[in-house]
Structure 1
Amino acid sequence: MNKTVLAFALAASSLVASPAMAANLLPDASQVQFTAIDAATRGTLLASTETGTTGATTYSGFLRSAVYLNTLGTLDFYYQVAINSINPGDEVFNLTASNFMGFTVDALVDGTDFDGAGIFTAANNPNLQGPAGSTTTASRNGSGSVVRADFGANGLEGAGQTSATYIFRTNATNYSLGGTFTTQDGSVAQRPNFQPIAAVPEPATWAMMLVGFGAIGASMRRRRRASAKAMQFA
């Protein structure tokens, strides 16, 4: 077996052995398929919140969000919508969340009651069990700040229906309560949510940066002195 064939065989075997990658959600992306989360990577719950649908005029229910530290060492942001009541003919057709600008985002989904007695519940939408299965896709706006789950045929239009839990996996390592979590139908309901924020250097990191800046400055001073001496003897 020559080296080319061996390299191809190794690459093929690694693809077979590797788990499916998450659906990467680039800025200005649309109709990206959500990937089922690998439960082994879920990690640890850091914070969660559940509020009523303040601002909605056609339905009532709950907006749920949470942030997890996954086993990769970065943060995942979770979102779910649950309907208590909704006007006949109306439908909740998407959810959006911000602010994700400057971060990588992967689109994951979980339809189970993964947190037991926690705020999230198993998806309870008849369309998810229908012939079409899940039709929900992920999108991200041009600046990258807003991510969205478009329910498609899985829109919520009946009392007691609950969306799957949509998860946006990022490379962030810090978060804050800010941005917005929004649902849309004929009206709009929104609330603050957990969002990724840029990491703040720890004191030790600041010290290392200052030492580095000092070394650069000393190096520049030495170069200037050497240049001055060279000019004197020229």
Structure 2
Amino acid sequence: MKRIGFLAVAAAIGVAAAAPASATILMPGQSSIRFSAFDASTRGTLLESINSGTTGATTYTGSLRSAVYRNTLGTLDFYYQVAIDSIARGDEVFNLTTAGFLGFSVDALVDGTNFDGAGIFTAANNPNLQGPPGSTTTASRSGSGAIVRADFGDNGLEAAGQTSATYIFRTDATNYNLGGTFTTQDGSVAQRANFQPVAAVPEPATWGMMLLGFGGIGFAVRRGRKTMARMAFAV
């Protein structure tokens, strides 16, 4: 019993060590959840990124920047940033929204650093950096869980040259495609296709093993029926 107890404690410690200590888990239907500071040691490897260039809306123009990384835990992180080129006087971009997260776990993280150097993301002219990590920006998730959102609060973008922080939604997905959406809005909306997590599709070899397994089960059932029939006949 002592050995079993020790193993259980060790397993619990291992699970705790594998998860980021400060992760903010975003459940379906939740809103006004503070982003956690991103742990740069878990960033992992860039898989793909997109910089939309200038994307026009009725009241503003800007760039929608996004990327997908495979983090050091082996799952996928989805990165988003908005940069304003021009905006009508008195208007303010107050959130970014992204879709395609139905059925996946989501952690809400924020990075205010210039982590990719000369890459597409930047920390320049970011009103979110005037406060602590996350500042007044909060995360929300739709009731179905498909849509996640960063609400900028007092850190809305209202001047040319301003950028948001980089918001990161960490998932338990291991595959992705370009079937999602990325939206920003004030009174008008700018939208473009974006990365989204997708369920893993078994490889051909896996399908083959599954079929062999099903075939083996069927053979065993048929053989069992024949054995029972012979026993009944003998009786």
Matched, 1:173 2:174: yes
Superposition deviation, residue 200 in structure 1? 1.4
Relative to structure 1, is the Cα distance of residues 132 and 33 closer, same or farther in structure 2, using a 3 angstrom cutoff? closer
**What is the deviation of 1:223?**
2.5
CA distance in 1, matches of 2:27, 2:231: 53
SS at match of 1:214: helix
1:29 alignment partner in structure 2: 30
TM-score by length of 1: 0.87
Deviations 1:157-204 (A, max 9, x none): 111110000001111111111211000101000000111111111222
Gapped runs of 5+ residues in structure 2? none
1:1-234 counterparts in 2 under 5 A? 20-52=21-53, 54-122=55-123, 124-126=125-127, 128-130=129-131, 134-233=135-234
Letter in 2 for 1:97: T
Q: What amino acid is the match of 1:87? A: A
Offset from partner CA, 1:46-86 (integer Å, 9 cap, x none): 11011145351111110001000111111110000001111
**Post-superposition offset of 1:222:** 2.2
Q: Structure 1: which 5+ residue stretches go unaligned?
A: none
1:131 to 1:206, Cα distance in 2 relative to 1, 3 A: closer
What value does the CA root-mean-square deviation take over the aligned residues?
A: 2.5
Q: 1:165 to 1:133 in 2, by over 3 A?
A: closer
Cα distance in 1 between the residues matched to 2:92 and 2:37: 25
Letter in 2 for 1:114: F
Compared with structure 1, are the counterparts of its residues 224 and 133 closer, same or farther at alpha carbon in structure 2 (3 Å cutoff)? closer
Aligned sequence identity (%): 74
Report the more deviating stretch, 196-205 or 124-133: 124-133
Runs of 4+ in structure 1 deviating by more than 6 angstroms, as ranges, are none
Report how far residue 36 of structure 1 moved.
1.0
SS of residue paired to 2:55: coil
Return the alpha-carbon distance in structure 1 between the equivalents of residues 88 and 133 of structure 2: 25
C-alpha deviations, 1:8-33, integer Å up to 9, x for none? xx89xx6xx96623111111111111
Partner SS, residue 224 of structure 2: helix
Q: What is the count of residue pairs matched by the alignment?
A: 225
**2:35–2:134 Cα contact (<8 Å) kept:** no
Of 24-33 and 65-74, more deviation after overlay is shown by 24-33
* Aligned-partner Cα distance in 2 for 1:91–1:165: 18
Structure-2 separation of matches of 1:221 and 1:131:
66
* Residue type at the aligned position of 1:173: T
Residue 169 of structure 1 aligns with an amino acid whose one-letter code is R
After superposition, the Cα gap between the structure-2 partners of 1:218 and 1:41, relative to the gap in structure 1 and judged at 3 Å, is: same
Q: Separation in 1 of the partners of 2:229 and 2:161?
A: 80
Task: Please tell me whether the aligned partners of residues 53 and 189 of structure 1 are also in contact (alpha carbons under 8 angstroms).
Answer: no
Q: Give the Cα–Cα distance (whole angstroms) in 2 for the partners of residues 132 and 225 of structure 1.
A: 69
Opposite residue 217 of structure 1, the aligned amino acid is G
Mapped contact 2:47–2:70 kept (Cα < 8 A): yes
Mapped partners of 2:158, 2:82: distance in 1: 12
Please give the alpha-carbon distance, in whole angstroms, between the structure 1 residues aligned to 2:37 and 2:106.
15
Contact 1:55/1:187 (<8 A) preserved: no
| TM-score, scaled relative to structure 2 | 0.87
The question of whether the paired residues in 1 share the 8 Å contact of 2:93 and 2:184 is answered with yes
Q: For 2:224 and 2:196, locate their aligned partners in 1 and report how far apart those are by CA, in whole Å.
A: 46
Q: Secondary structure at the match of 1:24?
A: coil
